[in-house]
Amino acid sequence: MKKKLGLVSLTLITASVLAACGGGGDEGASKEKQTLIISTFGLEEDKMQEDVFKPFEEKYNVDIVLETGTSSERLTKLKSNPNSTVDVIELSQSNAADGVEAGLFEKIDNSKVPNMDNLIDSAKELAADGSGPAYTLNSIGIVYNTKTSGKEIKEWDDLWDPSLKAKISIPDITTTFGPAMLYVASSHKNVDLTTDDGKASLEGITELAPNVVKTYSKSSDLANMFQSGEITAAVVGDFAVPIITESNPDVAYVVPESGTYANFNTININKNSKNKDLAYKYIDWRLSQEVQEKTAVSLNEAPTNKNVVLDVETAKNKTYGEVAERTKKVDSLFVNKNLESWINQWNRILNK
What pLDDT is attached to residue 30? 44
Looking at the structure, do residues 206 and 280 belong to the same domain, yes or no? no
The answer to whether the beta carbons of residues 273 and 340 sit under 8 Å apart is: no
Domain tally, the chain:
2
Give the list of residues 6+ apart from residue 281 with CB closer than 8 angstroms, or none: 28, 56, 60
Asked if the model's pLDDT at residue 10 lies above 60, the reply is: no
Task: Average the pLDDT over each of 41-45, 159-163, 177-181 and give the range with the smallest value.
Answer: 41-45
CB atoms under 10 Å from CB of 256, counted, come to 17
75-82: long-range contacts (C-beta < 8 A, 24 or more apart)? 75/99, 77/7, 78/39, 78/104, 78/270, 79/104, 81/11, 82/272
What pLDDT is attached to residue 246? 87
Asked if the model's pLDDT at residue 328 lies above 50, the reply is: yes
Looking at the structure, do residues 206 and 333 belong to the same domain, yes or no? yes
8 band by pLDDT with thresholds 50, 70 and 90 = very low
Q: State pLDDT tens for residues 256-303.
A: 999 999 999 999 999 999 999 999 999 999 999 999 999 999 999 999
Looking at the structure, do residues 152 and 289 belong to the same domain, yes or no? no
Looking at the structure, do residues 311 and 345 belong to the same domain, yes or no? no
Rounded to an integer, the average pLDDT of 36-58 is: 94
What pLDDT is attached to residue 319? 95
**Which DSSP symbol is given to 177?**
T
Looking at the structure, do residues 256 and 328 belong to the same domain, yes or no? yes
- Per the model's pLDDT, the better-predicted residue between 200 and 176 turns out to be 200
3-class secondary-structure state, position 294:
helix
- Per the model's pLDDT, the better-predicted residue between 339 and 43 turns out to be 339
Asked if the model's pLDDT at residue 5 lies above 80, the reply is: no
Looking at the structure, do residues 185 and 270 belong to the same domain, yes or no? no
CA angle 188, 194, 195 (to 5 degrees): 85
Looking at the structure, do residues 200 and 336 belong to the same domain, yes or no? yes
Rounded to an integer, the average pLDDT of 153-177 is: 96
Rounded to an integer, the average pLDDT of 17-33 is: 49
The boundaries of the domain holding residue 121 are 4-137+264-320
Q: State pLDDT tens for residues 64-115.
A: 999 999 899 999 999 999 789 999 999 999 999 999 999 999 999 999 999 9
- Per the model's pLDDT, the better-predicted residue between 4 and 321 turns out to be 321
Average pLDDT taken over every residue of the chain: 90
Looking at the structure, do residues 212 and 341 belong to the same domain, yes or no? yes
Beta bridge partners of 170: 215
The answer to whether the beta carbons of residues 207 and 60 sit under 8 Å apart is: no
**Sign of torsion, CA 32 41 307 277?**
negative
Looking at the structure, do residues 97 and 209 belong to the same domain, yes or no? no
Asked if the model's pLDDT at residue 2 lies above 90, the reply is: no
Q: State pLDDT tens for residues 191-234.
A: 999 999 999 999 999 999 999 999 999 888 899 999 999 999 99
16 band by pLDDT with thresholds 50, 70 and 90 = very low
Rounded to an integer, the average pLDDT of 120-129 is: 92
Q: What share of the chain is helix, strand, coil (3-state, %, to 5)?
A: 45, 20, 35
Looking at the structure, do residues 75 and 219 belong to the same domain, yes or no? no
Looking at the structure, do residues 236 and 145 belong to the same domain, yes or no? yes
What pLDDT is attached to residue 21? 40
The answer to whether the beta carbons of residues 262 and 238 sit under 8 Å apart is: no
Looking at the structure, do residues 110 and 155 belong to the same domain, yes or no? no
CATH at 172:
3.40.190.10
What dihedral do alpha carbons 336, 342, 346, 352 form, nearest 10°?
110
